[in-house]
Structure 1
């Protein structure tokens, strides 16, 4: 009987080794997790926390207070740096703009002197006029100096005038040049020109084409427009007034105007229109 019981007990192997083995595996897993976590530590944050602890133990300031103070100091420092950069940039930009405006004024004044000298030398004082204002340098040419009556074909002698103006303009590149045609209010109705609109437009285009024969002028900066009879300088009730209203205007537009005008092209164009109306 005892023999049978002993033999039955030997059939089951001793499995007590599994317990320490499973404990060992658990410890190894925990070790690897700790090692992985330690390898991914943010050293910057660890250093910041270390400094916070040192300050807290040395001065009695809490860790949270230390963090707030550090953030406040960093924000103040960045704010001061940004303000300094902004102020320096604004000052530099203002100085540069003022210098450019001054240089532009000198350029346009010199161009006006050159034009006035040419007009006087050529005996064209009664037919040409120049005006420099806050928005443009305006060259006004009476129509009888350029065109036969009711025609848009520029007189051969007057082509020299257009070429001379173009030669002076090419010395000051980068300016927008606008050629505008004007007529009086006397109606015109021909096959070529159904109205004063077409006449003033074609005159402006023809004058612009002669300007652009000068290869030094950039076509992208040159344009033409037509106003017909609708922007007179004088009353159309007299022949003298109508003669003044028939004209071609060449506007050399400023690149730098007063800040109140610099934000709007419409304001600049409006100022140009008003300047034209105020001429004598």
Structure 2
């Protein structure tokens, strides 16, 4: 086996693990009665960076109180579910980013969407660690404010308010890596 063939085999094996993790997340959200309401809140897709798990706000179901970084109990439950999956893939580090919509948030102290998105990402990091993810698995925690909207045609859309957790690839996919496969979870 050549070095290139070995790398391709390792990348394919990692992708199989990501596919299995996606399936486990989807089945857990469908199969746990308390989590069924969150089917529309969780998106899982493959990116060049790795397996991206996004938890979004949806109509009538926010992750955090307005202007706060203290997650609701149901948000902690979703992060606990994500932590269970992350723990099953011990070779992959994670990236956590917080996102807001483009509705300006500013209080007299100068606290803006930038701080809010970063604080929510940090709160998500703490929740994942409290659920058993080792601290050394966290590669980075980033606040993105409204700079990377999920709903590009609706920058004020509530689904732009989200937490993104990426299980980072250990194995380079090579030239096909630039293709992003996006498969949102079904809403059955």
Q: In structure 2, what is the Cα distance between the partners aligned to 1:279 and 1:109? A: 11
Matched with 2:103 is: 186
- Give me the TM-score of the superposition, normalised by structure 1: 0.56
**Higher strand proportion:** 2
C-alpha change, 1:192 and 1:138, in structure 2 (3 Å) is farther
Matched with 2:39 is: 125
**Can you list the C-alpha shifts for 1:63-86, whole angstroms capped at 9, x where unaligned?**
xxxxxxxxxxxxxxxxxxxxxxxx
Give how far 1:98 is off.
2.4
Instruction: Work out which of the residue numbers 93, 106, 113 in structure 1 matches 2:3.
Output: 93
Matched with 1:221 is: 137
Matched with 1:113 is: 23
1:195 corresponds to 2:112:
yes
Give how far 1:233 is off.
2.1
1:147 corresponds to 2:64:
yes
Task: State the aligned residue count.
Answer: 176
Matched with 2:173 is: 258
Give how far 1:134 is off.
4.1
8 Å CA contact 1:185, 1:236 repeated in 2: no
8 Å CA contact 1:184, 1:242 repeated in 2: yes
SS in 1 for 2:89: coil
Give how far 1:210 is off.
0.7
SS in 2 for 1:113: helix
C-alpha change, 1:206 and 1:96, in structure 2 (3 Å) is same
CA RMSD in angstroms comes to 2.7
8 Å CA contact 1:233, 1:279 repeated in 2: no
SS in 2 for 1:181: strand
Matched with 1:10 is: none
Deviating runs (4+, > 3 A) in structure 1? 235-238
**Higher helix proportion:** 1
C-alpha change, 1:212 and 1:146, in structure 2 (3 Å) is same
Unaligned runs of 5+ residues in structure 2 are none
For 1:147-166, what aligned pairs fall within 5 Å after superposition? 147-166=64-83
Unaligned runs of 5+ residues in structure 1 are 1-90, 262-267
Matched with 1:173 is: 90
Q: In structure 1, what is the Cα distance between the partners aligned to 2:83 and 2:108? A: 31
Give how far 1:235 is off.
4.3
- Give me the TM-score of the superposition, normalised by structure 2: 0.81
Instruction: Work out which of the residue numbers 213, 232, 248 in structure 1 matches 2:163.
Output: 248
Q: In structure 2, what is the Cα distance between the partners aligned to 1:190 and 1:206? A: 20
Matched with 1:212 is: 129
Q: In structure 1, what is the Cα distance between the partners aligned to 2:77 and 2:15? A: 27
Matched with 1:25 is: none
C-alpha change, 1:192 and 1:242, in structure 2 (3 Å) is farther
Query: Taking CA–CA contacts closer than 8 Å with sequence separation of 6 or more, which of the two structures ends up with the larger relative contact order?
Result: 2
**Can you list the C-alpha shifts for 1:23-63, whole angstroms capped at 9, x where unaligned?**
xxxxxxxxxxxxxxxxxxxxxxxxxxxxxxxxxxxxxxxxx
8 Å CA contact 1:142, 1:248 repeated in 2: yes
C-alpha change, 1:279 and 1:102, in structure 2 (3 Å) is closer
